Structure 1
Amino acid sequence: MLAQQTIERLHQLRLTGMAQAFGAQLHDTGYHDLSFEERFALLVEQEWLHRQNKRLARLLRQARLRLTACLEDIDYVTPRGLDRGLMKSLGTCQWIREHLNILISGPTGVGKTFLACALANAACRQGFSARYYRVSRLLQELSLSRGDGSYPRLLSQLAKIELLVLDDWGLAPFTDSSSRDLLEVIDDRWQVRSTIVASQLPLEHWHGLFPDPTVADAVLDRLVHNAHKINLKGESLRKVKSSLSG
Protein backbone atom coordinates (compact mmCIF):
# COMPACT_ATOMS: atom_id res chain seq x y z
CA MET A 1 0.00 0.00 0.00
CA LEU A 2 2.82 2.39 0.89
CA ALA A 3 4.59 1.61 -2.38
CA GLN A 4 1.46 2.42 -4.40
CA GLN A 5 1.05 5.70 -2.55
CA THR A 6 4.67 6.53 -3.32
CA ILE A 7 4.12 5.84 -7.02
CA GLU A 8 1.03 8.05 -7.00
CA ARG A 9 2.97 10.83 -5.30
CA LEU A 10 5.74 10.56 -7.90
CA HIS A 11 3.18 10.90 -10.70
CA GLN A 12 1.64 13.91 -8.93
CA LEU A 13 5.11 15.47 -8.77
CA ARG A 14 5.46 14.72 -12.52
CA LEU A 15 8.35 12.36 -11.86
CA THR A 16 6.99 9.86 -14.36
CA GLY A 17 10.29 8.20 -15.20
CA MET A 18 11.10 7.71 -11.55
CA ALA A 19 7.63 6.29 -10.86
CA GLN A 20 8.02 3.76 -13.67
CA ALA A 21 11.50 2.78 -12.47
CA PHE A 22 10.32 2.42 -8.87
CA GLY A 23 7.48 0.16 -9.98
CA ALA A 24 9.98 -1.96 -11.94
CA GLN A 25 12.24 -2.26 -8.90
CA LEU A 26 9.35 -3.50 -6.77
CA HIS A 27 8.67 -6.41 -9.14
CA ASP A 28 12.27 -7.38 -9.95
CA THR A 29 14.13 -9.23 -7.20
CA GLY A 30 17.41 -8.46 -8.98
CA TYR A 31 17.33 -5.00 -7.44
CA HIS A 32 17.15 -6.34 -3.87
CA ASP A 33 20.89 -6.92 -3.68
CA LEU A 34 21.66 -3.29 -4.49
CA SER A 35 22.28 -0.67 -1.85
CA PHE A 36 19.85 2.17 -1.23
CA GLU A 37 22.26 4.60 -2.92
CA GLU A 38 22.53 2.37 -6.01
CA ARG A 39 18.78 1.91 -6.32
CA PHE A 40 18.11 5.60 -5.82
CA ALA A 41 20.75 6.48 -8.45
CA LEU A 42 18.93 4.22 -10.92
CA LEU A 43 15.65 5.98 -10.17
CA VAL A 44 17.23 9.39 -10.80
CA GLU A 45 18.88 8.14 -14.00
CA GLN A 46 15.56 6.83 -15.31
CA GLU A 47 13.86 10.15 -14.59
CA TRP A 48 16.64 12.02 -16.39
CA LEU A 49 16.37 9.71 -19.43
CA HIS A 50 12.59 10.06 -19.48
CA ARG A 51 12.85 13.85 -19.52
CA GLN A 52 15.56 13.83 -22.18
CA ASN A 53 13.49 11.57 -24.43
CA LYS A 54 10.39 13.69 -23.87
CA ARG A 55 12.31 16.86 -24.72
CA LEU A 56 13.78 15.29 -27.86
CA ALA A 57 10.33 14.19 -29.01
CA ARG A 58 9.05 17.74 -28.48
CA LEU A 59 11.96 19.32 -30.35
CA LEU A 60 11.58 16.94 -33.30
CA ARG A 61 7.83 17.54 -33.41
CA GLN A 62 8.33 21.31 -33.44
CA ALA A 63 11.09 21.05 -36.08
CA ARG A 64 8.62 19.58 -38.62
CA LEU A 65 11.45 18.03 -40.61
CA ARG A 66 10.51 17.01 -44.11
CA LEU A 67 12.42 13.73 -43.81
CA THR A 68 13.25 11.37 -40.98
CA ALA A 69 16.99 11.54 -41.47
CA CYS A 70 20.04 10.84 -39.28
CA LEU A 71 23.71 11.53 -39.83
CA GLU A 72 24.39 7.82 -39.22
CA ASP A 73 22.34 6.98 -42.34
CA ILE A 74 24.19 9.26 -44.78
CA ASP A 75 25.36 7.49 -47.94
CA TYR A 76 29.09 7.95 -48.41
CA VAL A 77 29.40 5.14 -50.96
CA THR A 78 27.75 6.96 -53.86
CA PRO A 79 30.26 9.59 -55.06
CA ARG A 80 28.82 13.05 -54.34
CA GLY A 81 31.86 14.96 -53.14
CA LEU A 82 30.68 14.64 -49.53
CA ASP A 83 33.45 14.95 -46.95
CA ARG A 84 32.97 12.38 -44.17
CA GLY A 85 35.35 14.28 -41.87
CA LEU A 86 33.39 17.51 -42.29
CA MET A 87 30.10 15.76 -41.57
CA LYS A 88 31.55 14.19 -38.43
CA SER A 89 32.66 17.63 -37.29
CA LEU A 90 29.27 19.19 -38.06
CA GLY A 91 27.62 16.39 -36.09
CA THR A 92 29.07 17.85 -32.89
CA CYS A 93 26.90 20.97 -33.49
CA GLN A 94 29.78 23.24 -32.47
CA TRP A 95 28.94 25.33 -35.54
CA ILE A 96 25.53 26.08 -33.97
CA ARG A 97 27.19 27.16 -30.73
CA GLU A 98 29.37 29.48 -32.82
CA HIS A 99 26.31 30.79 -34.75
CA LEU A 100 27.61 29.68 -38.15
CA ASN A 101 25.57 28.68 -41.21
CA ILE A 102 25.61 25.78 -43.66
CA LEU A 103 24.95 26.27 -47.37
CA ILE A 104 24.16 23.10 -49.34
CA SER A 105 23.98 23.22 -53.13
CA GLY A 106 23.72 20.61 -55.84
CA PRO A 107 21.45 19.23 -58.56
CA THR A 108 18.09 17.57 -57.97
CA GLY A 109 18.13 14.28 -56.09
CA VAL A 110 21.66 14.32 -54.65
CA GLY A 111 20.43 14.41 -51.06
CA LYS A 112 20.39 18.08 -50.07
CA THR A 113 17.14 17.83 -48.12
CA PHE A 114 18.22 14.60 -46.42
CA LEU A 115 21.49 16.19 -45.37
CA ALA A 116 19.76 19.32 -44.04
CA CYS A 117 17.21 17.27 -42.09
CA ALA A 118 19.93 14.98 -40.71
CA LEU A 119 21.85 17.98 -39.41
CA ALA A 120 18.68 19.40 -37.88
CA ASN A 121 17.95 16.02 -36.29
CA ALA A 122 21.45 16.03 -34.76
CA ALA A 123 20.80 19.53 -33.44
CA CYS A 124 17.57 18.40 -31.75
CA ARG A 125 19.40 15.46 -30.18
CA GLN A 126 21.77 17.92 -28.59
CA GLY A 127 18.96 20.06 -27.24
CA PHE A 128 18.80 22.81 -29.87
CA SER A 129 15.49 24.03 -31.27
CA ALA A 130 15.08 23.67 -35.02
CA ARG A 131 12.48 24.39 -37.69
CA TYR A 132 12.28 23.25 -41.31
CA TYR A 133 10.72 25.41 -44.01
CA ARG A 134 10.50 25.25 -47.75
CA VAL A 135 11.31 28.80 -48.72
CA SER A 136 8.08 29.23 -50.67
CA ARG A 137 6.02 28.21 -47.61
CA LEU A 138 7.95 30.55 -45.33
CA LEU A 139 7.45 33.48 -47.69
CA GLN A 140 3.75 32.64 -47.91
CA GLU A 141 3.44 32.64 -44.10
CA LEU A 142 5.27 35.95 -43.88
CA SER A 143 3.02 37.49 -46.52
CA LEU A 144 -0.16 36.27 -44.78
CA SER A 145 1.11 37.53 -41.42
CA ARG A 146 1.39 41.02 -42.86
CA GLY A 147 -2.31 40.94 -43.59
CA ASP A 148 -3.49 39.69 -40.20
CA GLY A 149 -1.10 41.78 -38.12
CA SER A 150 1.00 38.87 -36.81
CA TYR A 151 4.11 39.77 -38.82
CA PRO A 152 6.18 41.06 -35.85
CA ARG A 153 5.25 38.02 -33.77
CA LEU A 154 6.22 35.61 -36.56
CA LEU A 155 9.57 37.36 -37.04
CA SER A 156 10.16 37.13 -33.30
CA GLN A 157 9.39 33.42 -33.30
CA LEU A 158 11.74 32.78 -36.22
CA ALA A 159 14.51 34.78 -34.54
CA LYS A 160 14.36 32.54 -31.45
CA ILE A 161 14.80 29.27 -33.35
CA GLU A 162 18.38 28.11 -32.86
CA LEU A 163 18.57 26.33 -36.22
CA LEU A 164 16.40 27.39 -39.16
CA VAL A 165 16.40 25.17 -42.26
CA LEU A 166 15.48 26.89 -45.53
CA ASP A 167 15.00 24.28 -48.27
CA ASP A 168 14.38 24.73 -52.02
CA TRP A 169 16.05 28.15 -51.99
CA GLY A 170 15.83 29.84 -55.37
CA LEU A 171 13.29 27.67 -57.18
CA ALA A 172 11.87 30.99 -58.39
CA PRO A 173 13.26 34.53 -58.28
CA PHE A 174 12.31 36.56 -55.24
CA THR A 175 10.00 39.55 -55.47
CA ASP A 176 10.74 42.91 -53.88
CA SER A 177 8.47 42.04 -50.97
CA SER A 178 9.73 38.50 -50.43
CA SER A 179 13.37 39.55 -50.65
CA ARG A 180 12.79 42.18 -47.96
CA ASP A 181 11.09 39.56 -45.81
CA LEU A 182 14.10 37.28 -46.20
CA LEU A 183 16.38 40.12 -45.21
CA GLU A 184 14.34 40.65 -42.03
CA VAL A 185 14.59 36.96 -41.15
CA ILE A 186 18.28 36.61 -41.94
CA ASP A 187 19.27 39.88 -40.30
CA ASP A 188 17.58 38.85 -37.03
CA ARG A 189 19.65 35.65 -37.03
CA TRP A 190 23.01 37.11 -38.03
CA GLN A 191 25.73 36.21 -35.51
CA VAL A 192 23.19 34.99 -32.93
CA ARG A 193 21.53 31.96 -34.61
CA SER A 194 22.36 29.38 -37.29
CA THR A 195 20.72 28.73 -40.64
CA ILE A 196 20.92 25.91 -43.18
CA VAL A 197 20.10 26.80 -46.78
CA ALA A 198 19.65 24.08 -49.43
CA SER A 199 19.45 25.03 -53.10
CA GLN A 200 19.69 23.55 -56.58
CA LEU A 201 21.39 26.74 -57.72
CA PRO A 202 25.16 27.14 -57.41
CA LEU A 203 26.10 29.73 -54.83
CA GLU A 204 27.39 32.15 -57.45
CA HIS A 205 23.87 32.41 -58.94
CA TRP A 206 22.10 33.36 -55.71
CA HIS A 207 22.70 37.06 -56.14
CA GLY A 208 20.63 37.09 -59.32
CA LEU A 209 17.55 35.82 -57.48
CA PHE A 210 17.02 39.24 -55.91
CA PRO A 211 15.52 42.18 -57.87
CA ASP A 212 17.45 44.70 -55.78
CA PRO A 213 21.24 44.19 -55.74
CA THR A 214 21.50 46.07 -52.45
CA VAL A 215 19.14 43.66 -50.70
CA ALA A 216 20.97 40.73 -52.33
CA ASP A 217 24.28 42.00 -50.94
CA ALA A 218 22.79 42.41 -47.47
CA VAL A 219 21.22 38.92 -47.37
CA LEU A 220 24.19 37.06 -48.83
CA ASP A 221 26.72 38.94 -46.73
CA ARG A 222 24.93 37.64 -43.62
CA LEU A 223 24.60 34.09 -44.96
CA VAL A 224 27.77 33.34 -46.89
CA HIS A 225 30.77 34.73 -45.08
CA ASN A 226 30.31 32.75 -41.86
CA ALA A 227 29.14 29.51 -43.47
CA HIS A 228 30.30 25.98 -44.16
CA LYS A 229 29.70 25.32 -47.86
CA ILE A 230 28.76 21.85 -49.12
CA ASN A 231 28.58 21.45 -52.90
CA LEU A 232 27.11 18.07 -53.80
CA LYS A 233 27.67 16.57 -57.22
CA GLY A 234 26.71 13.50 -59.20
CA GLU A 235 23.55 11.80 -60.35
CA SER A 236 20.26 11.72 -58.53
CA LEU A 237 20.33 9.14 -55.71
CA ARG A 238 16.78 8.19 -56.62
CA LYS A 239 17.92 7.41 -60.14
CA VAL A 240 20.97 5.48 -58.92
CA LYS A 241 18.96 3.38 -56.47
CA SER A 242 16.26 2.77 -59.08
CA SER A 243 18.83 1.43 -61.58
CA LEU A 244 20.39 -0.80 -58.90
CA SER A 245 17.04 -2.27 -57.83
CA GLY A 246 16.10 -2.85 -61.44
Structure 2
Amino acid sequence: MLTHPTSDRLRELGLAGMARALEDQRRQPDLSDLCFEDRLGLLVDQEVLERDNRRLRIRLRFAGLRQQAAPENIDWRTSRGLDRPLFQKLLMGEWIERHENILVTGPTGTGKTWLSCALGHRACRDNRSVLYHRVPRLLEALGIARGDGRYARMLKSLARVQVLILDDWGITPLTAEQRRDLLEVVDDRHGRASTIITSQLPVELWHQHIDNPTIADAVLDRLVHGAHRIELKGESLRKLQAGKQPRLDE
Protein backbone atom coordinates (compact mmCIF):
# COMPACT_ATOMS: atom_id res chain seq x y z
CA MET A 1 0.00 0.00 0.00
CA LEU A 2 1.25 3.45 -0.98
CA THR A 3 -1.32 5.36 1.03
CA HIS A 4 1.04 6.87 3.57
CA PRO A 5 3.71 7.97 1.04
CA THR A 6 0.90 9.44 -1.06
CA SER A 7 -0.43 11.41 1.91
CA ASP A 8 3.06 12.72 2.61
CA ARG A 9 3.53 13.69 -1.03
CA LEU A 10 0.20 15.51 -1.07
CA ARG A 11 1.27 17.56 1.95
CA GLU A 12 4.59 18.35 0.31
CA LEU A 13 2.62 19.71 -2.65
CA GLY A 14 0.54 21.92 -0.34
CA LEU A 15 -2.56 19.73 -0.67
CA ALA A 16 -3.17 19.11 3.03
CA GLY A 17 -6.93 19.00 2.52
CA MET A 18 -6.64 16.20 0.00
CA ALA A 19 -4.22 14.34 2.30
CA ARG A 20 -6.66 14.47 5.20
CA ALA A 21 -9.54 13.43 2.94
CA LEU A 22 -7.50 10.48 1.69
CA GLU A 23 -6.84 9.37 5.27
CA ASP A 24 -10.55 9.71 6.04
CA GLN A 25 -11.36 7.49 3.05
CA ARG A 26 -9.01 4.81 4.40
CA ARG A 27 -11.06 4.72 7.60
CA GLN A 28 -14.33 4.33 5.68
CA PRO A 29 -14.28 0.95 3.90
CA ASP A 30 -17.68 1.56 2.29
CA LEU A 31 -16.08 4.27 0.13
CA SER A 32 -14.14 1.58 -1.68
CA ASP A 33 -17.32 0.85 -3.61
CA LEU A 34 -17.07 4.27 -5.28
CA CYS A 35 -15.39 4.58 -8.64
CA PHE A 36 -12.02 6.33 -8.99
CA GLU A 37 -13.54 9.57 -10.34
CA ASP A 38 -15.98 9.83 -7.43
CA ARG A 39 -13.29 9.26 -4.80
CA LEU A 40 -11.00 11.76 -6.51
CA GLY A 41 -13.86 14.23 -6.61
CA LEU A 42 -14.30 13.92 -2.82
CA LEU A 43 -10.59 14.61 -2.34
CA VAL A 44 -10.72 17.70 -4.55
CA ASP A 45 -13.89 18.99 -2.84
CA GLN A 46 -12.23 18.73 0.57
CA GLU A 47 -9.15 20.59 -0.68
CA VAL A 48 -11.29 23.39 -2.11
CA LEU A 49 -13.29 23.64 1.13
CA GLU A 50 -10.18 23.90 3.28
CA ARG A 51 -8.61 26.52 1.02
CA ASP A 52 -11.81 28.59 1.10
CA ASN A 53 -11.91 28.37 4.89
CA ARG A 54 -8.25 29.35 5.14
CA ARG A 55 -8.76 32.38 2.90
CA LEU A 56 -11.79 33.40 4.96
CA ARG A 57 -9.78 33.22 8.18
CA ILE A 58 -7.09 35.41 6.63
CA ARG A 59 -9.64 37.96 5.40
CA LEU A 60 -11.38 38.10 8.79
CA ARG A 61 -8.06 38.51 10.58
CA PHE A 62 -7.13 41.39 8.27
CA ALA A 63 -10.58 42.99 8.64
CA GLY A 64 -10.24 43.22 12.44
CA LEU A 65 -13.99 43.31 12.93
CA ARG A 66 -14.87 44.53 16.39
CA GLN A 67 -17.57 41.89 16.87
CA GLN A 68 -17.89 38.32 15.65
CA ALA A 69 -21.20 38.94 13.91
CA ALA A 70 -22.61 36.44 11.44
CA PRO A 71 -25.63 37.40 9.29
CA GLU A 72 -27.52 34.24 10.24
CA ASN A 73 -27.41 35.31 13.91
CA ILE A 74 -29.28 38.60 13.43
CA ASP A 75 -32.07 39.08 15.97
CA TRP A 76 -35.14 39.99 13.91
CA ARG A 77 -37.48 39.76 16.90
CA THR A 78 -36.30 42.89 18.70
CA SER A 79 -38.15 46.00 17.56
CA ARG A 80 -35.53 48.55 16.52
CA GLY A 81 -36.68 49.73 13.10
CA LEU A 82 -34.41 47.43 11.11
CA ASP A 83 -35.76 47.10 7.57
CA ARG A 84 -35.46 43.36 7.01
CA PRO A 85 -35.96 43.32 3.21
CA LEU A 86 -33.38 46.10 2.79
CA PHE A 87 -30.81 44.42 5.03
CA GLN A 88 -31.24 41.05 3.34
CA LYS A 89 -30.76 42.76 -0.01
CA LEU A 90 -27.57 44.41 1.27
CA LEU A 91 -26.25 41.02 2.38
CA MET A 92 -26.24 39.97 -1.28
CA GLY A 93 -23.42 42.47 -1.86
CA GLU A 94 -24.51 44.21 -5.06
CA TRP A 95 -23.93 47.58 -3.36
CA ILE A 96 -20.24 46.69 -3.15
CA GLU A 97 -20.07 46.02 -6.88
CA ARG A 98 -21.62 49.45 -7.47
CA HIS A 99 -19.26 51.15 -4.97
CA GLU A 100 -22.16 52.41 -2.86
CA ASN A 101 -22.11 53.34 0.83
CA ILE A 102 -24.20 52.37 3.85
CA LEU A 103 -25.03 54.77 6.69
CA VAL A 104 -26.17 53.14 9.95
CA THR A 105 -27.51 55.56 12.55
CA GLY A 106 -29.35 55.24 15.84
CA PRO A 107 -29.04 55.56 19.63
CA THR A 108 -26.27 53.80 21.51
CA GLY A 109 -26.75 50.09 22.00
CA THR A 110 -29.15 49.50 19.12
CA GLY A 111 -26.72 47.25 17.27
CA LYS A 112 -25.08 49.57 14.75
CA THR A 113 -21.61 48.10 15.17
CA TRP A 114 -22.92 44.54 15.20
CA LEU A 115 -24.87 45.00 11.97
CA SER A 116 -21.93 46.69 10.24
CA CYS A 117 -19.67 43.79 11.28
CA ALA A 118 -22.27 41.31 10.01
CA LEU A 119 -22.16 43.03 6.62
CA GLY A 120 -18.36 42.96 6.78
CA HIS A 121 -18.37 39.28 7.68
CA ARG A 122 -20.60 38.50 4.71
CA ALA A 123 -18.32 40.50 2.41
CA CYS A 124 -15.34 38.47 3.67
CA ARG A 125 -17.24 35.28 2.89
CA ASP A 126 -17.81 36.60 -0.61
CA ASN A 127 -14.03 36.95 -1.07
CA ARG A 128 -13.96 40.74 -0.66
CA SER A 129 -11.43 42.73 1.34
CA VAL A 130 -12.79 44.43 4.47
CA LEU A 131 -11.22 46.69 7.08
CA TYR A 132 -12.75 47.96 10.34
CA HIS A 133 -11.74 51.18 12.11
CA ARG A 134 -13.19 53.32 14.87
CA VAL A 135 -13.09 56.87 13.54
CA PRO A 136 -11.40 58.50 16.59
CA ARG A 137 -8.55 55.99 16.60
CA LEU A 138 -8.18 56.06 12.83
CA LEU A 139 -7.79 59.83 12.85
CA GLU A 140 -5.23 59.58 15.64
CA ALA A 141 -3.32 56.96 13.65
CA LEU A 142 -3.35 59.15 10.55
CA GLY A 143 -1.93 62.03 12.60
CA ILE A 144 0.90 59.82 13.85
CA ALA A 145 1.50 58.47 10.33
CA ARG A 146 1.90 62.01 9.01
CA GLY A 147 4.70 62.58 11.48
CA ASP A 148 6.67 59.42 10.77
CA GLY A 149 6.34 59.33 6.98
CA ARG A 150 3.69 56.61 6.67
CA TYR A 151 0.79 58.94 5.82
CA ALA A 152 0.65 58.38 2.04
CA ARG A 153 1.07 54.64 2.44
CA MET A 154 -1.70 54.46 5.03
CA LEU A 155 -4.10 56.44 2.84
CA LYS A 156 -3.32 54.10 -0.03
CA SER A 157 -4.10 51.03 2.08
CA LEU A 158 -7.41 52.56 3.21
CA ALA A 159 -8.34 53.34 -0.39
CA ARG A 160 -7.53 49.83 -1.58
CA VAL A 161 -9.97 47.80 0.56
CA GLN A 162 -13.33 47.05 -1.01
CA VAL A 163 -15.33 47.67 2.18
CA LEU A 164 -14.14 50.13 4.84
CA ILE A 165 -16.15 50.22 8.08
CA LEU A 166 -15.92 53.52 9.94
CA ASP A 167 -17.46 53.02 13.36
CA ASP A 168 -18.40 55.66 15.96
CA TRP A 169 -18.55 58.57 13.51
CA GLY A 170 -19.21 61.89 15.22
CA ILE A 171 -18.55 61.08 18.89
CA THR A 172 -15.58 63.45 19.28
CA PRO A 173 -14.93 66.97 17.90
CA LEU A 174 -12.66 67.20 14.87
CA THR A 175 -9.51 69.26 14.60
CA ALA A 176 -8.72 71.11 11.38
CA GLU A 177 -6.15 68.45 10.52
CA GLN A 178 -8.61 65.62 11.16
CA ARG A 179 -11.21 67.24 8.89
CA ARG A 180 -8.70 67.25 6.06
CA ASP A 181 -7.73 63.64 6.81
CA LEU A 182 -11.38 62.63 6.70
CA LEU A 183 -11.80 64.29 3.33
CA GLU A 184 -8.70 62.53 1.98
CA VAL A 185 -10.02 59.12 3.04
CA VAL A 186 -13.51 59.73 1.65
CA ASP A 187 -12.29 61.29 -1.60
CA ASP A 188 -9.85 58.43 -2.31
CA ARG A 189 -12.69 55.91 -2.03
CA HIS A 190 -15.45 57.85 -3.79
CA GLY A 191 -16.70 55.93 -6.81
CA ARG A 192 -14.02 53.27 -6.33
CA ALA A 193 -14.97 51.38 -3.15
CA SER A 194 -17.71 51.11 -0.53
CA THR A 195 -17.83 52.53 2.98
CA ILE A 196 -20.04 51.65 5.94
CA ILE A 197 -20.46 54.37 8.57
CA THR A 198 -22.10 53.99 11.96
CA SER A 199 -23.06 56.98 14.06
CA GLN A 200 -25.22 58.03 16.97
CA LEU A 201 -25.71 61.34 15.19
CA PRO A 202 -28.52 61.61 12.63
CA VAL A 203 -27.17 62.27 9.15
CA GLU A 204 -28.76 65.73 9.27
CA LEU A 205 -26.26 66.71 12.01
CA TRP A 206 -23.11 65.49 10.25
CA HIS A 207 -22.54 68.80 8.49
CA GLN A 208 -22.64 70.59 11.83
CA HIS A 209 -20.29 68.02 13.39
CA ILE A 210 -17.61 68.52 10.71
CA ASP A 211 -17.88 72.23 11.48
CA ASN A 212 -16.31 73.51 8.29
CA PRO A 213 -18.80 74.29 5.51
CA THR A 214 -16.42 73.70 2.63
CA ILE A 215 -15.03 70.40 3.88
CA ALA A 216 -18.43 69.26 5.16
CA ASP A 217 -20.02 69.83 1.75
CA ALA A 218 -17.24 67.87 0.05
CA VAL A 219 -17.31 64.95 2.51
CA LEU A 220 -21.09 64.59 2.64
CA ASP A 221 -21.46 64.95 -1.13
CA ARG A 222 -19.22 61.90 -1.52
CA LEU A 223 -20.72 59.87 1.31
CA VAL A 224 -24.43 60.57 1.58
CA HIS A 225 -25.80 60.96 -1.93
CA GLY A 226 -27.13 57.63 -3.10
CA ALA A 227 -26.14 55.84 0.10
CA HIS A 228 -28.30 53.14 1.68
CA ARG A 229 -29.60 54.25 5.08
CA ILE A 230 -30.36 52.08 8.08
CA GLU A 231 -31.97 54.16 10.83
CA LEU A 232 -32.31 52.23 14.07
CA LYS A 233 -34.39 53.24 17.06
CA GLY A 234 -35.49 51.98 20.45
CA GLU A 235 -33.77 51.13 23.70
CA SER A 236 -30.27 49.78 24.06
CA LEU A 237 -30.12 46.06 23.34
CA ARG A 238 -27.46 45.75 26.04
CA LYS A 239 -29.86 47.30 28.53
CA LEU A 240 -32.66 44.97 27.48
CA GLN A 241 -30.41 41.93 27.72
CA ALA A 242 -29.16 43.02 31.15
CA GLY A 243 -32.77 43.30 32.29
CA LYS A 244 -33.34 39.66 31.37
CA GLN A 245 -30.45 38.43 33.54
CA PRO A 246 -31.46 37.11 36.97
CA ARG A 247 -30.50 39.38 39.85
CA LEU A 248 -28.09 38.03 42.46
CA ASP A 249 -30.49 38.94 45.27
CA GLU A 250 -33.40 37.04 43.76
Contact residue 65 and residue 132 of structure 1 kept, 8 A: yes
CA deviations over 1:170-208 (Å, ceiling 9, x no partner): 001211111111111111111111100000000000001
Supply the distance in 2 between the matched residues of 1:208 and 1:176 (Cα, whole angstroms). 14
Map residues 90-239 of structure 1 onto 2, 5 A cutoff: 90-239=90-239
**Aligned letter for 1:86?**
L
So what's the TM-score if we normalise by structure 2?
Answer: 0.95
Q: Which runs of 5+ in 1 are unaligned?
A: none
Counterpart of 2:88?
88
Aligned equivalent of 2:69: 69
Q: Determine whether 1:41 maps to 2:60.
A: no
For 1:155, what is the secondary structure of its paired residue?
helix
Question: Structure 2: which 5+ runs fail to align?
Answer: none
Is the contact between residue 168 and residue 198 of structure 1 (CA under 8 Å) also seen in structure 2?
yes
Matched letter for residue 224 of structure 2:
V
Q: How far is the alpha carbon of 1:140 from its aligned partner?
A: 1.0
Q: 1 CA distance for matches of 2:219 and 2:192? A: 15
Aligned residue type for 1:169? W
Cα deviation, residue 243, structure 1: 2.1
Q: Aligned partner of 2:116: which letter?
A: A
Q: For 2:33, what is the secondary structure of its paired residue?
A: coil
CA distance in 2, matches of 1:2, 1:56: 33
CA distance in 2, matches of 1:207, 1:19: 58
> Within 1, Cα distance between the matches of 2:51 and 2:177?
42
More moved, 72-81 vs 122-131: 72-81
Provide the rounded CA distance (Å) in 2 between the counterparts of 1:139 and 1:10: 47
Query: Following superposition, which runs of at least 4 residues in structure 1 exceed 4 angstroms of deviation?
Result: none
On the 8 A contact 1:176/1:210 being kept in 2, the answer is no
CA distance in 2, matches of 1:134, 1:229: 19
Query: Once the two structures are aligned, what percentage of the paired residues are identical?
Result: 53
Asked if structure 2 preserves the Cα contact closer than 8 Å seen for 1:176 and 1:211, the reply is: no
CA distance in 1, matches of 2:78, 2:24: 46
CA deviations 1:67-113 (Å, max 9, x no partner) are 11112222222211111111111111111111111000001111111
CA distance in 1, matches of 2:139, 2:95: 26
The count of aligned residue pairs is 246
State the TM-score, normalizing by the size of structure 1. Answer: 0.97
Deviation at 1:40, TM superposition (A): 0.6
Q: Distance in 2 between matches of 1:50 and 1:238?
A: 36
2: CA distance between counterparts of 1:173 and 1:202? 16
Displacement, 1:245?
2.9
Taking the aligned partners of 1:4 and 1:151, their CA distance within structure 2 comes to 52
Helix, strand or coil: the match of 1:196? Answer: strand
Query: Alpha-carbon deviation of 1:2?
Result: 2.2
Once superposed, what is the RMSD of the aligned Cα atoms?
1.1
Q: Is the 1:99–1:193 contact (alpha carbons within 8 Å) kept by the matching residues of 2? A: yes
User: 1:5 — aligned with what?
Assistant: 5
What is the rounded CA distance, in whole Å, between the counterparts of 2:238 and 2:8 in structure 1? 52
Deviates more, 1:68-77 or 1:42-51: 68-77
